[in-house]
Amino acid sequence: MATLPFTSFFPLTLSSPSSSSSSKLSTLHAFRASTSQYFSTQHTPRREFLKGLALMPLPLVVLREPPPSHAREVEVGSFLPPSPSDPSFVLFTASPKDTPALRAGNVQPYKFLLPPTWKQARVANILSGNYCQPKCAEPWVEVKFEDEKQGKVQVVASPLIRLTNKPNATIEDIGTPEKLIASLGPFVTGNTFDPEELLETSVEKLGDQTYYKYVLETPYALTGTHNLAKATAKGNTVVLFVVSANDKQWQTSEETLKTVLDSFQV
């Protein structure tokens, strides 16, 4: 702290005891004026510090939502086991740690093959069904995987009540393959579905589970110009597996993508 010179308080010589009272008042006024002028031109370190704080721009604080899924930004071949049936693929088996619906018991576990170079993509919280489990009224996205050279896959789950009033209905109870895809087609394309985009349908039996399979050519789809889909019903949910590619990806990876589709099981 700066030291205030004693003499600066008294620029005038103090009078003797015999001086008049008016002289004393003049001296006091001079003292006050001198001290006021001094402090107005001096800044203590604390004042300088506070002044600096006032002039400093406030930092911009950006709050980021925590990742809604446990997607890993690495190739799946580094953490998934090789497929027992085809070691050139790896096997993804969904578990409760992977999705909110599996944790809630709203979806039965499922599995499928993936090329080892693919990566898991994050699912936005609003699409994951996290906000509505265990009683979601609309379909949600379970998991997503992708590879920029080959394509992408996603698992979409729909509440059974959206498609039929029959509890624990099989996929045959819901209707024909064409009827089912008419309801779930927009979740294959990412926007709209035109029945003319449906090139092929088939029915597959795996044990006691029936699957509807689809081949679609979707030039206006957000997911890609080529889409494959496979659907089944189990418990209170219809599970839809979607494999998508653009023209370039389809040209080089069609057989790989069909193998991935065929591998899907609930």
Segment 158-176 mean pLDDT: 95
Per-residue pLDDT tens over the stretch 186-244: 999 999 999 999 999 999 999 999 999 999 999 999 999 999 999 999 999 999 999 99
- Tell which wins on pLDDT, 113 or 25: 113
Indicate which CATH number applies to the domain containing 146. 3.40.1000.10
- The confidence band for 73, taking pLDDT boundaries of 50, 70 and 90, is confident
Mean per-residue pLDDT over the chain, rounded: 82
Give the model's pLDDT for residue 8: 42
Q: What are phi and psi of 80, to 5 degrees?
A: -100, 150
Q: How far is CA 168 from CA 45, 95, 235, in A?
A: 76, 21, 5
Residue 16 lies in a domain: no
Give the model's pLDDT for residue 52: 56
- Tell which wins on pLDDT, 248 or 39: 248
Segment 53-78 mean pLDDT: 57
Residue 6 lies in a domain: no
d(CA 61, CA 43): 32
**pLDDT value at 64 more than 50:** no
How many domains does one find in the chain? 1
Count of other CB atoms within 10 angstroms of residue 194: 13
Residue 256 lies in a domain: yes
Domain enclosing residue 104, as ranges: 79-263
**pLDDT value at 182 more than 80:** yes
Segment 117-130 mean pLDDT: 93
> Given the DSSP bridges, would you call strands 226-234 and 237-245 parallel, antiparallel or unpaired?
antiparallel
- Tell which wins on pLDDT, 45 or 108: 108
Residue 19 lies in a domain: no
Query: Do 170 and 233 touch, CB atoms closer than 8 A?
Result: yes
Give the model's pLDDT for residue 55: 53
Per-residue burial over 177-186, b = 16 or more CB atoms within 10 Å of its CB, e = otherwise: beebbebbbe
Residue 209 lies in a domain: yes
Percent of the chain with pLDDT over 90: 69
Strand partners, 153: 145, 243
Question: Token pair 């107005």 is at which residue?
Answer: 40
Residue 45 lies in a domain: no
Which burial class, exposed, middle or buried, applies to 91 when counting CB atoms under 10 A from its CB (0-12, 13-18, 19+)? Answer: middle
Residue 95 lies in a domain: yes
Residue 99 lies in a domain: yes
